[in-house]
Structure 1
Amino acid sequence: MNSKIAERFILGKVIAQKEWRLGLNSLYVDAAIEPFVAGQFTQLALDEDCHVLRPYSFVNPPSESPFEFYYSLVPGGYFSSRLVKLKPHDPIYIAKRPSGRFVLSSVPDATILWLFATGTGFGVFLSILQTQQPWLRFQKIVLVHSVQNTLSLTHQHLVQLWQHQYPERFYWMPVVTGENLSDGQRGAVSKRITHLLASGELENQTGLSLSAQTSQTMLCGNPAMIHDLSELLKLRGLLVNHVKQPGQITIENYWKLDNKNNA
């Protein structure tokens, strides 16, 4: 490893792989990196040259280890096809310093926090919700997760924990777009997030108002979802949240670092 790479990356060790369904995994890694804040991401590399990097959000809270990274296997993808083959004790390189401003300290106060995710973008919200900050700052929290099939509705032990701990404050809305669902199947609906918002169904099901006066929103996942949902939110008067101009729409942009969609 050359000196410039050594300044940025450290050698870690794979602790475990968990297959949630075929092509959807969590990778657990141990490494002595700098502390991170829930909502941040890091970069992983598979060899000491670190020529090929991919960004992944932390799923675990900062208080716990090993680090969990939630990812999809992209057919023919150079990186994920190698990542999925890693076994316990295998080496992996990880950036020493976590990155990203998709953190609650960047989000202004509000009554309701709406969290919108597609696919593995769900992982970053698991990290955030496993800390005390959101529960101390917001009266109500809505977690919306859109997936292709019900097998992709993972980490249900955490969802059920929050439902039990905060029955009057936590709202879980799974959205399944690629299956015909029987009534009440895991409580899921089969419309896209944008359709749920535009039709008013999202607010009807939660009994909450999504407006600039009441809400903060955080979006992570497919760039098309982020664009389309952001446009709908803007029509309601919500603004994109910037450092110099606070708003109500906070977006995770690290997907743009990898134009192969974490392949």
Structure 2
Amino acid sequence: MQTAALAVTTDDAPQFPLPANTHAERVVSVTHYTDSLFSFRITRPAAFRFRSGEFVMIGLPNAERPVFRAYSIASPAWDEEVEFYSIKVPDGPLTQHLQKIRPGDTVLMKHKSTGTLVLDALTPAKRLWMVATGTGFAPWASLVRDPETYEKFDEIVVTNTCRDVADLAYGDQLVAALEADPLIGELTAGRVKYVATTTREASPQMGRITTLIENGELFRLVGCAPFDRATDRVMICGSMAMLKDVKALVEAHGLEEGSNSKPADFVVERAFVG
């Protein structure tokens, strides 16, 4: 039986036993992008291993039985810290408290990560599409900074669709910094194409990702032909409706869904909804 340990967010906060199979980690930094979006980084346990694109259950030590939710890991597998990208839900069981964390506070993280948005679930091809809406961008933040992604694919297309321009900030900043990254900068140079669109506020490129796929605008922006099994692999993460619609469009182009046990042409996040 695991020995109970104490994990608290502040020195004067109530103390509760640490749940089994759970790490208690320190918040390193927090960045707020809008009133509804923020990212944060926590210390990484020495024994914690994950594949880029996976998710893990996280919570806060604010109750004897804390609430845990699945969060895609936004940092790549080589990172010394663990990064997350989150929405702020005013009355959310977890996020109403999580959005208030500060450096030095404690976040709980389960020992085991898992997920379908991993490179192992896809067969190699020329081009990898990472299609996201909202905080569904988080796994792309991990994968686009992983050297293995560039070993398996020649071109990477990252899409980021949100309602307003400010909501694109996390993805905009991350992609803009890729070529200056000392570890993967040389790998990414000239190989990453980024398509950021808005659905409500006016911006240089507007439109729902489903519309841009259907009318061909997405492929015109990237400068390539529509999805083709011979050249393209697709990863999809976002709202439940978006997952369903984009999956149908990808299948209409002849691509088949893959898994860890049977790699194929596209994958959909089965647990995380941005």
Q: Place the TM-score, normalised by the shorter chain, in its bin.
A: 0.7 to 0.9
Q: What is the identity, as a one-letter code, of the residue corresponding to 2:210?
A: T
Alignment check: 8 A CA contact 1:219 1:250 kept: yes
Residue type at the aligned position of 1:20: Y
Q: TM-score normalised to the size of structure 2? A: 0.84
The two structures, once aligned, show a CA RMSD in angstroms of 2.2
Q: What's 2:10 paired with? A: none
Quote the offset at 1:171 in angstroms: 1.0
Structure 2: which 5+ runs fail to align?
A: 5-16, 181-185
- Residue 81 of structure 1 corresponds to 96
What letter is aligned with 2:76? P
What SS does the aligned partner of 1:153 have? helix
Equivalent residue for 2:48?
34
Question: Does the 8 A contact of 1:21 with 1:151 survive in 2?
Answer: yes
CA distance in 2, matches of 1:90, 1:153: 27
Selected match of 1:218 from 231, 235, 240 = 235
Equivalent AA in structure 2 for residue 206 of structure 1: V
Are positions 1:24 and 2:57 aligned together? no
1:191 counterpart (207, 214, 217): 207
Give the one of 86, 95, 105 matched to 2:110: 95
State the percentage of identical aligned residues.
25
1:12 alignment counterpart: 25
Structure 2 residue matching 1:154: 3-state secondary structure? helix
Q: Could you tell me which residue of structure 2 aligns to residue 207 of structure 1?
A: 223
In the other structure, the counterpart of 1:69 is 84
Structure 1 residue 53 corresponds to structure 2 residue 75: no
Residue 117 (structure 1) shift: 0.5
Secondary structure of 2:114's match? coil
- 1:246 offset after TM fit, Å? 3.8
Does the aligned pair in 1 maintain the 2:67–2:93 contact within 8 Å? Answer: no
Give the deviation of 1:215 after TM superposition. Answer: 0.5
Quote the Cα distance in structure 1 between the aligned partners of 2:105 and 2:18.
20
Letter in 2 for 1:161: A
For residue 5 of structure 1, report the CA deviation from its aligned partner. Answer: 6.9
* Paired AA for residue 40 in structure 1: E
In the aligned structure 2, how far is the partner of 1:227 from the partner of 1:11? Answer: 35
Alpha carbons of structure 1 residues 35 and 245: separation in structure 2 relative to 1, 3 Å = closer
- Report the CA distance shift for 1:28/1:168 in structure 2 as closer, same or farther (over 3 A): closer
Superposed counterparts of 1:156-195, under 5 Å: 156-162=172-178, 166=188, 168-181=190-203, 185=204, 189-195=205-211
Q: d(CA) in 2 for partners of 1:121 and 1:109?
A: 23
Contact between 2:55 and 2:115, CA under 8 Å: does it hold in 1? Answer: yes
Number of equivalences: 251
Q: Which amino acid aligns with 1:37?
A: R
Q: 2:58 aligns with which of 37, 41, 44?
A: 44
The structure-2 alpha-carbon separation of the partners of 1:127 and 1:243, relative to structure 1 and needing over 3 Å to count, comes to: closer
Q: Is the 8 A contact 2:18 2:24 kept in 1?
A: no
Q: What per-residue deviation string (whole Å, max 9, x for no partner) do you get for residues 202-256 of structure 1?
A: 1111111221221000001111101001111111111111355543121111126
The residue aligned with 1:125 is: 140
Quick one: distance in 1 between partners of 2:192 and 2:44?
A: 33
TM-score under structure 1 length normalisation: 0.87
SS at match of 1:113: strand
Preserved contact between residue 5 and residue 50 of structure 1 (Cα < 8 Å): no
- Work out whether residues 163 and 170 of structure 1, in 8 Å CA contact, stay in contact via their aligned partners in 2: no
Unaligned runs of 5+ in 1: none
Deviation at 1:169, TM superposition (A): 2.2
Per the alignment, in what secondary structure is the counterpart of residue 49 of structure 1?
coil
> Which consecutive aligned stretches of 4+ in structure 1 deviate over 6 angstroms post-superposition?
1-5
Matching residue's letter, 1:35 = R
1:228 is matched with which residue? 245
